[in-house]
Amino acid sequence: MNPTRTAAETRMPHETVPHTRTWMAWPRADYMRDGSHAPADDVLAAWAGVANALAGFEPVAMLVAPSLEAEARSRLSAAVELHAAEYDDAWMRDCGPTFAFGPDGLVAVDWVFNAWGGFGGPGHARDDLVASDIARRVGAAVLDSPMVNEGGGFHVDGEGTVLLTDTVQLDPRRNPGWTRAEVEAEFARTLGTSTAIWLPRGLTRDYGPLGTRGHVDMVASFPEPGRVLLHRQLDASHPDSAVTASIRALLRDATDARGRSLEIVELPAPEVLRDAEDWVDYTYVNHAVANGGVVACAFGDPGDDRAAGILREVYPGREVVAVDARAIFALGGGIHCITQQEPALP
């Protein structure tokens, strides 16, 4: 870690800036392939669907274990580049690098990854090396961080504001003893943010066996500076109805790094409330932005079309393509969680 680097030297841009490519990883972890939460074929079809949709807008680079290359190639568009690599899991947003712009070019922030505070799944030693591996492949300077963090645990507006949740960065299983001030200082140093908006928690299902304990990218995101997309559960019987109402009240009173009140755009949850295991955390907030497009979650639900329409409104000029994400959510995440954008230098 370079302790002399200042906030002014690095800045994470908003996700809508032009991308060089999107990075993903092909599923290999046992818990993703044993069918206990989602059939393996459904999981692979979902990952391929996201990659192939993104490849219609921009280059996609897919890490793949050598033993799985033939399987991946058979399902992926020829436009998706395969990169042989060793890793444990396939949540690229979380174990991969967070890209920022530095004074000398592209910077890859390498957080400490400990599998969401010690989630009891497959090992993660190889996942903690993914960020530096990708940085080397693209020629980005590595900026090490001592903070345990994941890319799904924050969202920036590109103008100095970051959304966080108390139960992620302040999780004692992630960063024991850290304070809000220390977390904010580390985000300022690595991503150039100056204003943090702290949400109290994430969605209910996210605290279950496969959850991240509060990732913000399941709840809220910035489609542009000054505007926030908010997941809203309208059915009062679902526990996330109270959760999202409280988050809405907090965001209503918040101001961003430029002193603006936030315009809140609600993305209503789909109509389905439960799956075979528990209350669902199906959310349309968890989408991937690409060059000229948005790859959105679909759930085979009447709410899919409504959400796609809202996304078209908040991302004018971008085509919205929906991919069935139920198999991804069964494993604890969504489309945003399995992708990581590499911004193009301005």
Length of the chain equals 346
- Beta strands 60-64 and 19-25: pairing type? parallel
| Pairwise CA distance, residues 39 & 288, whole Å | 23
Q: Which domains does the chain have, with CATH numbers?
A: 7-343 (3.75.10.10)
- Residue at token pair 């790094």: 257
**Catalytic residue at 297?**
no
Q: Which two tokens stand for residue 130?
A: 């993914």
What pLDDT is stored for residue 36 in this prediction?
A: 72
Whole-model pTM?
0.96
| Pairwise CA distance, residues 83 & 61, whole Å | 7
Task: Given the residues 64, 337, 338, 341, select the one marked as catalytic.
Answer: 337
pLDDT in tens, the chain (346 residues): 333 344 458 999 999 999 999 999 999 876 666 667 899 999 999 999 999 999 999 999 999 999 999 999 999 999 999 999 999 989 999 999 999 999 999 999 999 999 999 875 557 889 989 999 999 999 999 999 999 999 999 999 999 999 999 999 999 999 999 999 999 999 999 999 999 999 999 999 999 999 999 999 999 999 999 999 999 999 999 999 999 999 999 999 999 999 999 999 999 999 999 999 999 999 999 999 999 999 999 999 999 999 999 999 999 999 999 999 999 999 999 999 999 999 999 9
Helix (H, G, I), strand (E, B) or coil at 323: strand
What pLDDT is stored for residue 142 in this prediction?
A: 97
- Beta strands 220-224 and 227-232: pairing type? antiparallel
